[in-house]
Chain A
Amino acid sequence: MSVRPLPTSGDRAEVVARLRERVAALECRTTRSAGQTVPSTSGLSSVLPLEAGHAYGVDSAFLGLALAAGASRAGEWVGFTGFPDFGAEAAAGLGVALDRTVLVPEPGEHWLEVTAALVDVLRVVVLRPTVRVDAKQAGVLESRLRRRSAVLVVHGGWPRLTASVSLERSLWEGPLDGRGHLERRRGTLVVDRRGRPATRVDVVTTGSEVEVLTPAPAAATPWRRASG
């Protein structure tokens, strides 16, 4: 590594900032900055842009796959912990690149350590805790998330979620008294952020995409997390 001389004159604060940046680079800290968004599946990104360093909740395995699919499609690594019933074909259909997917089907009692280790190296980690998670364990993971700018998607109980996504009034269409087969599912995607009114959009999901029927009402002003 070449050593650049620091400017002798100039603003003192600027020099300090530059030194900090160089120390961060030496420490191999990630250059992803917090507040940056992680791509999610095309249909969902307008409704729920995933912000790096935050935890999101989902209520179905399908939504967990869909939230991870965008990042995977963009070339990032994703991981799933606590999914013994992982549907690999559905994941691949939504765009999860299986060769960049780490699966820990049954982490058992090590779930916290495993998830923390995965958060260190993967961009999106989908977790399905089998036990009750307390605020301390959640805090450990959240600080790790912020430092590594990863996204945690939780399918299950979690004390502090940035937003939780659920599919209400969902209905599969296609079969008719023995004829036909499952084709698509209609439902209402509800995005519930803390301290804000929930966003509701009608969606149609198929094996390969999530299509938003009604545009999100607040699409003009992108959602930003309330400070604090």
Chain B
Amino acid sequence: MRVLAVWCPDWPVVAALLEEGLPATAPAAVIKANVVEVCNEEARREGVRRGQRRRDAQGRCPELRLLASAPDRDGRAFEPVLETVEALRPGVAALRPGLLAVRAPGRWFGTEENAAATICEALVETGVWDVRQGVADDLFCAEQAARWADLQGWRVVPAGGAATFLRDLPLQVLEQDPQGREVVGLLRRLGLSSLGDLAGLPAQAVEHRLGAFGSRLRRQARGEDPTSFHARTPPPDLECEVVFEPPLDSVEAVAFSVRRTADRLVEQLAARQLVCTAVRVEACTDDGGASVPTSVRTWLHPRFFSPADLVDRVHWQLSPRATGGVRSRKDAGVVAAPVERVRLVPETVEPAAAHGEGLWGGAGDELVERGVARVQGMVGFEAVRRPVLQGGRTPAARQADVVWGERAVDLRPLDRPWPGRVPGPPPALVFRQPPPSEVVDDAGVGVRVTERGAVTGVPTSFRPPSGGWQPVLSWAGPWPVDEGWWQGAEGRCARFQVVGADGRAWLLRCADDGWTVEAGYD
């Protein structure tokens, strides 16, 4: 069996640069545990090496772009490569991100060189620049051949020529894992330097001295790699689509017709013991023959989507702004033209077992979810919120509300110290639009806070959000904060806790543009 290996060197770096939309020619390295895990050719040219400490690498190459290690991302980015090769030759085995193997295409492409050239062309077209291929009798030899190929090139080891090809390779090629590194170190100390030396040793002696692992290495070096690979099963196509002929112009009609498709989507997921927690709804309008998705939105679900939930999401996405009320404040993605097709694409699929309900409950929560969905139907999807806490310095920054039915994303961490935050019990009223206020001292002059954080006068009287001027009973502060001025945030300001003559307390904020009431200790 002839094997073709496709190798994309430094794949983690390529994948990271690709996903962050950075140019592929900049020196970059993937860092794990403060040590360079992988770096690209440009970085190597500057002297960055694998296993180097981060600081050393930066010392060698100051413009080195540091990327976090993310095996998931590498695998995700490798998926298009697998698909491209799969389209040309089924039976692809993904050995690890950056390396795949496939049974060498035989006579269909004429010769193996032609096959390699075709695959290379297809991959370069998808945007993978650095592709190297090797064709040989076994997997190990094919991988080594790919490693010795040129950029966008290939190396074909003729049938039966594996031993000859491998003979001159240095032993370092076996240093793939810690165990291999250990064995290579031992072999070097024994005076061996190439794979040919290892291949020439008697089988029994290697077995005695190096065990099963060593004898496997010896067989690989002789071109008799016993490893076989299993072709992957292409992932199933889970998205569902419904086409309307003629196009529908009523949201109700679309929602009704989508019902069966939603059922089908959930059913086919359930048949694979999966549930969907994020779904993308795409609606295409009949737009002069070309059907382009005009309304695309990804919906998240706190648990997982049932068919009724999916129908609701389609309804909410397509409903135009209701007359009056506060229905759907965000009118992005509203379809005005008749809808021709609706696609439901599951974006995140999770095993159903992870979302199973206990035998002893959950029914109450389901009831609440149904009731709240009814409220969302009345006032709009985004009018029902779920409060969450997050980190921050002010009461308003320390809380957020997310749309009911969506997951909270991008929250600031709560467990940081947040220096400069206002102490004391949290206020029961946090104004969304802080009302303006004024604070004066006993001479009637407005109180300010200087650049050094000093208060210019003793506050004696202030204006709460409702009612007229009130004498200050007691006050505390200031808590100065100089925050986010580099990105256009609030900049320098100071906060005061002020207790009015009626015993109520307020949190006032003094900035360059005046005083506001941020929160009330009601």
> Do A and B come from the same complex?
yes
| Residue positions of A touching B, CB distance < 8 A | 60-62, 65, 77, 84-93, 98-99, 101-110, 113-114, 117-118, 120-122, 169-172, 174-185, 187, 206-208
Complex partner residue of B389 from A98, A103, A106, CB under 8 angstroms: A98
> Which residues in B have their C-beta under 8 angstroms from that of A90?
425-428
Evaluate contact between B499 and A118: CB separation under 8 angstroms: no
CB closest chain-B residue, reference A122: B368
Task: Tell me, rounded to whole Å, the shortest Cβ–Cβ distance linking B398 to chain A.
Answer: 5
Binds A, one of B103-111, B196-204, B287-295, B469-477: B469-477
Task: Tell me, rounded to whole Å, the shortest Cβ–Cβ distance linking B172 to chain A.
Answer: 54
* Chain A CB within 8 A of B422 CB: yes
CB closest chain-A residue, reference B402: A103
Evaluate contact between A178 and B521: CB separation under 8 angstroms: no
CA distance A95 to B325 in the complex (A): 32
Evaluate contact between A114 and B375: CB separation under 8 angstroms: yes
* Chain A CB within 8 A of B35 CB: no
Evaluate contact between A101 and B425: CB separation under 8 angstroms: no
Complex partner residue of A104 from B365, B384, B458, CB under 8 angstroms: B384
Evaluate contact between B371 and A118: CB separation under 8 angstroms: yes
CA distance A106 to B389 in the complex (A): 20
Q: Which of B368, B387, B404, B503 has most A Cβ within 10 Å?
A: B387
Complex partner residue of A207 from B325, B424, B504, CB under 8 angstroms: B424
Task: Tell me, rounded to whole Å, the shortest Cβ–Cβ distance linking A120 to chain B.
Answer: 5
Binds A, one of B59-67, B265-273, B429-437: B429-437
The number of residues on chain B lying at the interface, defined by a beta carbon within 8 Å of a beta carbon of chain A, is: 55
Complex partner residue of B497 from A109, A181, A207, CB under 8 angstroms: A181
Evaluate contact between B430 and A175: CB separation under 8 angstroms: no
* Chain A CB within 8 A of B324 CB: yes
28 A-B pairs in the complex with CB atoms less than 8 angstroms apart: A85-B429, A85-B430, A88-B400, A88-B401, A90-B425, A91-B387, A91-B428, A98-B386, A98-B387, A98-B388, A99-B386, A101-B386, A103-B385, A109-B324, A110-B325, A117-B374, A169-B503, A170-B503, A172-B499, A174-B424, A175-B474, A175-B499, A176-B476, A181-B422, A181-B476, A182-B424, A182-B476, A182-B497
CB closest chain-A residue, reference B505: A172
Evaluate contact between A87 and B499: CB separation under 8 angstroms: no
* Chain A CB within 8 A of B274 CB: no
Evaluate contact between A84 and B432: CB separation under 8 angstroms: yes
Task: Tell me, rounded to whole Å, the shortest Cβ–Cβ distance linking B510 to chain A.
Answer: 13
> Which residues in A have their C-beta under 8 angstroms from that of B364?
77
A183 and B424 contact, Cβ closer than 8 Å, known pairs A107-B326, A113-B378 = yes
Evaluate contact between B425 and A207: CB separation under 8 angstroms: yes
A87 and B426 contact, Cβ closer than 8 Å, known pairs A60-B522, A62-B522, A110-B325 = yes
| Residue positions of B touching A, CB distance < 8 A | 324-326, 364-365, 367-368, 370-372, 374-375, 378-379, 383-389, 395, 398-401, 404, 422-432, 455, 458, 473-477, 497-499, 503-505, 519-522
Complex partner residue of B401 from A89, A103, A108, A176, CB under 8 angstroms: A103
Complex partner residue of B368 from A86, A102, A171, A187, CB under 8 angstroms: A102
A177 and B474 contact, Cβ closer than 8 Å, known pairs A104-B383, A182-B497, A185-B521 = yes
CA distance A107 to B378 in the complex (A): 9
CA distance A118 to B379 in the complex (A): 13
> Which residues in A have their C-beta under 8 angstroms from that of B401?
86, 88, 103, 105
CB closest chain-B residue, reference A75: B364
CB closest chain-B residue, reference A106: B326
A178 and B389 contact, Cβ closer than 8 Å, known pairs A84-B432, A106-B383, A207-B426 = no
Task: Tell me, rounded to whole Å, the shortest Cβ–Cβ distance linking A62 to chain B.
Answer: 4
Task: Tell me, rounded to whole Å, the shortest Cβ–Cβ distance linking A60 to chain B.
Answer: 5
> Which residues in A have their C-beta under 8 angstroms from that of B424?
174, 181-183, 207
> Which residues in A have their C-beta under 8 angstroms from that of B375?
102, 104, 114, 117-118
Evaluate contact between A180 and B476: CB separation under 8 angstroms: yes
